Chain A
Amino acid sequence: MTSAASHDGLRIKGVTRRFPAPEGGIVTALDDVSLAIEPAEFFVLLGPSGCGKTTLLRTIAGLEYPDEGEVWLGSERLDVLPPYKRRVNTVFQSYALFPHLTVAENVSFGLEMEGMSRKEAAPLVAEALELVRLPEHGRRRPAQLSGGQQQRVALARALAKRPEVLLLDEPLAALDLKLRRGMQTELKRIQQTTGVTFVFVTHDQEEAISLGDRLAVFQEGTVAQVGTPQEVYERPANRFVADFIGETSFLTAERTDAGFRLRGGDVLPADRVSGAGDMGDTGGGGGEVTIALRPEHLVIGGADAPLHGVVRESVYVGSDVRVGAELAGGEQVVVRLPVGAAFPEPGTRVGLDVLPGRGWAVAS
């Protein structure tokens, strides 16, 4: 399959979608969401369940219509078209394979809807099954396949239509961990060989970070942050994003001339924290800031370290050791130690430091 990137990208412009809530009232599933997804991009919509990411996916597919806003694919306005007129296809979380059809008939279905005969569609069906590495399974029924194989058939069925955008709704959620890892690699390979734009919904932040060229983090119907995995991980836009992606400890601090004064009285030097310049400007002098700390950006130092705490627990997790410590002000932080480092006993008093510039001030 050759590149399908003939469009100028997918544009979501101010899409709002409201539903009547089961217990009365209105739920705003999407609140003025705007996104620009580029051609041939692997774009991930990430967020906890109920944050609106699946609603956005269904809006692009045409299974939902927005109350406000527009969806454009290149120069074509999508949100006014029925699904069968959109060059967009979906891989459903439940796979939704037709149980009464064979694998090949499932893949052929969408092509026949374009007016092809089954015979005309056959080479394309074979090509699609080849792409997902199931060339021998065409005559089987979906019920005779494993979950991972059904997943591949669903992928082949959607890709056989040669969509410009492929939507994937938590496609790996039902697979076990090992299979999921394998399929992630496979998806990435397929996306790169076909050049189709992938819009991938997941609530698994690890999956999002390892798969996405860029990702959008959803928070209660709005987009909290858009960026590359590295940007989102290292410079989270707010406390929600920092908390949702990766393991994070939060410290509340007061901005002073010397640095950041914590509740317990310790002062973290200003050079340990970045992003704070903006914070200081917006919050005004002496304002409170929240500092997000990743376990790998904290180190256990000597008595001259700026922060002081007591070790509460040390957990060996195979690749490293996680040390939970309580600071003077009662804040809990997690420190990652490389394997082989000294294993601090619970109750030990330790000095703690932050790698220069690695503390990240976020909006609370």
Chain B
Amino acid sequence: MTDPVTPLTPGTAQPPADDPADGLAASAAPGTARTRPGRASSSGARRVHRPAGQGARSSVLPGTLFLLALVGAPLVIVVAYSFMSRGMFGVGVAGPFSVDSYVRLLFDTQLDGSKIFDPRYIGVFWQSIWLAALTTVCCAVLAFPMAVWMATRSPRTRALLVFAVTIPFWTNTLVRTYAWVLILNDNGPVSGLLGTPIGLLYTPFATAVGLVYVSLPFMILPVYSSAEKFDFRLAEAAYDLGARRLTILRRVVYPAVRPGLVAGVVLVFIPSLGAFLQPQLLGGGKSLMIGNLIEQQFGASRNWPLGSAVAVALLVLTLLTLMGFALAGRRGGQKVSLM
């Protein structure tokens, strides 16, 4: 992607993503860009204002319909549900407009009808943000050297390594997460190696391990795609100008790899924020994340409006995060793109 005014726009150049969070990013980011013309708007403005012919207009129609049906409609339904009440026996929704579900996110209603502040849901959000951030940092720390190392191999080896990174995608995430249950449980190989069971499974640590494991390829691939384009003759030039190895990494390699790193952060942080498989299976349901909360409301708790309200809150959080990255990208003068 080359348009400097619309950072973080996966949807403009890629086919509509099937993940609702990504789809939302696609519909939101162009809007934010258009309302705030950037300083580097010369090329972008020219592109936006180029008179669109009849052909151009009809060619965007299928994509628009696709987005409306698969992203817009579900979104409208979720938002609508969040402003209704529980249906009969908790199945579905019913009743008139109500903000009760949103109020419940922040307040607990006492028996006498008075409302007091309730930090439990906020706690779940906080826990999710914290775990997602931890996952992102761990992935970035692991992926950066890995991707730079990959990029310095011969073209043949590089192709093999990229292939190797994608191998986990061949197996369902659920199955791979169960594999971690086997690895981490008290009779598993980790405890076996340590000689004594130390209760790794069903801890936030296990959740984080699972999240990092699942997310790592999504960090490695975009960072690698930036690192692969890096001209290593620049590193030689820096070396020649008196820079030591660490300085070269920090001042020459890192700025070049930064767009990939930002893309990777988005690709890891946002899905991790809504993860429910890993906290459920590896965290033992003890460390609740937003995803688990939503799943519970639509499942066991049978409170669809509350589940919808949590989902909307997650969407808003995601949006704010994306906007934050877009802003940071603009300030850095970097073109941020996903892959």
Q: Is A110 an interface residue (CB 8 A)?
A: yes
Q: Are B239 and A96 in contact (CB under 8 A)?
A: no
CB neighbours of B193 from chain A (8 A) = none
CB neighbours of A63 from chain B (8 A) = 236, 239-240
Q: Are B236 and A89 in contact (CB under 8 A)?
A: no
Q: Is A119 an interface residue (CB 8 A)?
A: no
**Interface residue from B234, B242, B244 paired with A98 (Cβ < 8 Å):** B234
CB distance from B308 to the nearest CB of A (A): 44
Q: Is A90 an interface residue (CB 8 A)?
A: yes
Q: Are B242 and A96 in contact (CB under 8 A)?
A: no
* Alpha-carbon distance A155/B339, docked complex (angstroms): 35
Q: Are A109 and B238 in contact (CB under 8 A)?
A: yes
Q: Are B241 and A109 in contact (CB under 8 A)?
A: yes
CB distance from A226 to the nearest CB of B (A): 26
Q: Is A61 an interface residue (CB 8 A)?
A: yes
Main secondary structure of the interface of B (DSSP, over half): helix
Q: Are A110 and B233 in contact (CB under 8 A)?
A: no
CB neighbours of B252 from chain A (8 A) = 98
* Alpha-carbon distance A114/B242, docked complex (angstroms): 7
Q: Are A113 and B234 in contact (CB under 8 A)?
A: no
Q: Is A178 an interface residue (CB 8 A)?
A: no
Q: Are B243 and A113 in contact (CB under 8 A)?
A: yes
Q: Are B256 and A84 in contact (CB under 8 A)?
A: no
Main secondary structure of the interface of A (DSSP, over half): loop
Q: Are B242 and A113 in contact (CB under 8 A)?
A: yes
| Complex interface bits, A136-174 against B, C-beta within 8 A gives 1, otherwise 0 | 000000000000000000000110010000000000000
Q: Are B243 and A84 in contact (CB under 8 A)?
A: yes
* Alpha-carbon distance A321/B240, docked complex (angstroms): 48
**Count of A-B contacts with CB under 8 A?**
54
Q: Which of B237, B251, B256 has the most CB of A within 10 A?
A: B237
B contact residues, range: 10 to 19
Q: Are A83 and B242 in contact (CB under 8 A)?
A: yes
Q: Is B231 an interface residue (CB 8 A)?
A: yes
CB distance from A261 to the nearest CB of B (A): 55
Given contacts A98-B252, A100-B256, contact A83 B239 (CB under 8 A): yes
CB neighbours of A244 from chain B (8 A) = none
Which chain A residue lies CB-closest to B254?
A100
CB neighbours of B240 from chain A (8 A) = 61-63, 83, 89-90, 92, 158
CB neighbours of A28 from chain B (8 A) = none
CB neighbours of A94 from chain B (8 A) = 231, 233
Q: Are A90 and B242 in contact (CB under 8 A)?
A: no
Q: Is B38 an interface residue (CB 8 A)?
A: no
CB neighbours of A113 from chain B (8 A) = 241-243, 247
CB neighbours of A97 from chain B (8 A) = 237
Q: Are A157 and B233 in contact (CB under 8 A)?
A: no
* Alpha-carbon distance A92/B251, docked complex (angstroms): 19
CB neighbours of A84 from chain B (8 A) = 239, 242-244
Given contacts A96-B231, A100-B256, contact A90 B237 (CB under 8 A): yes
CB distance from B2 to the nearest CB of A (A): 12
CB neighbours of B244 from chain A (8 A) = 84
CB neighbours of B236 from chain A (8 A) = 63, 92, 96
Q: Are B241 and A110 in contact (CB under 8 A)?
A: yes
| Complex interface bits, A38-73 against B, C-beta within 8 A gives 1, otherwise 0 | 000000000000000000000001110000000000
| Complex interface bits, B211-237 against A, C-beta within 8 A gives 1, otherwise 0 | 000000000000000000001011011
**Interface residue from B234, B242, B255, B256 paired with A110 (Cβ < 8 Å):** B242
Which chain A residue lies CB-closest to B247?
A113
* Alpha-carbon distance A169/B327, docked complex (angstroms): 41
Which chain B residue lies CB-closest to A58?
B236
Which chain A residue lies CB-closest to B234?
A96
Given contacts A96-B234, A113-B247, contact A89 B241 (CB under 8 A): yes
* Alpha-carbon distance A97/B241, docked complex (angstroms): 11
Which chain A residue lies CB-closest to B236?
A63
* Alpha-carbon distance A84/B238, docked complex (angstroms): 9
| Complex interface bits, A91-125 against B, C-beta within 8 A gives 1, otherwise 0 | 01010111110000000011001100000000000
* Alpha-carbon distance A113/B252, docked complex (angstroms): 13
| Complex interface bits, A269-280 against B, C-beta within 8 A gives 1, otherwise 0 | 000000000000
* Alpha-carbon distance A89/B236, docked complex (angstroms): 11
CB neighbours of B247 from chain A (8 A) = 113
* Alpha-carbon distance A109/B252, docked complex (angstroms): 10
| Complex interface bits, A191-213 against B, C-beta within 8 A gives 1, otherwise 0 | 00000000000000000000000
Q: Which of B240, B242, B252 has the most CB of A within 10 A?
A: B240
* Alpha-carbon distance A63/B234, docked complex (angstroms): 12
Which chain A residue lies CB-closest to B251?
A109
CB distance from B258 to the nearest CB of A (A): 8
Q: Which of A61, A62, A113 has the most CB of B within 10 A?
A: A113
Q: Are A157 and B231 in contact (CB under 8 A)?
A: no
Q: Which of B233, B236, B242 has the most CB of A within 10 A?
A: B242
* Alpha-carbon distance A89/B231, docked complex (angstroms): 19
Which chain B residue lies CB-closest to A63?
B236
* Alpha-carbon distance A62/B240, docked complex (angstroms): 8
CB neighbours of B255 from chain A (8 A) = 98, 100
The contact sample of 25 A-B pairs, CB cut-off 8 A, is A62-B239, A62-B240, A63-B236, A63-B239, A83-B240, A84-B239, A84-B243, A84-B244, A90-B237, A90-B240, A92-B237, A92-B240, A94-B233, A96-B231, A96-B234, A96-B237, A98-B237, A98-B252, A99-B234, A109-B243, A110-B242, A113-B242, A114-B242, A158-B240, A158-B241
Chain A residues proximal to chain B, CB less than 8 Å = 61-63, 83-84, 89-90, 92, 94, 96-100, 109-110, 113-114, 157-158, 161
The 8 A-B residue pairs with the shortest CB-CB distance in the complex, in nearest-first order = A110-B241, A113-B242, A96-B237, A84-B242, A100-B255, A90-B240, A96-B233, A83-B239
Question: A62-B240, A98-B252, A157-B241 are known contacts; what are 7 more A-B pairs with Cβ within 8 Å?
Answer: A61-B240, A83-B240, A97-B237, A98-B234, A109-B241, A113-B241, A114-B242
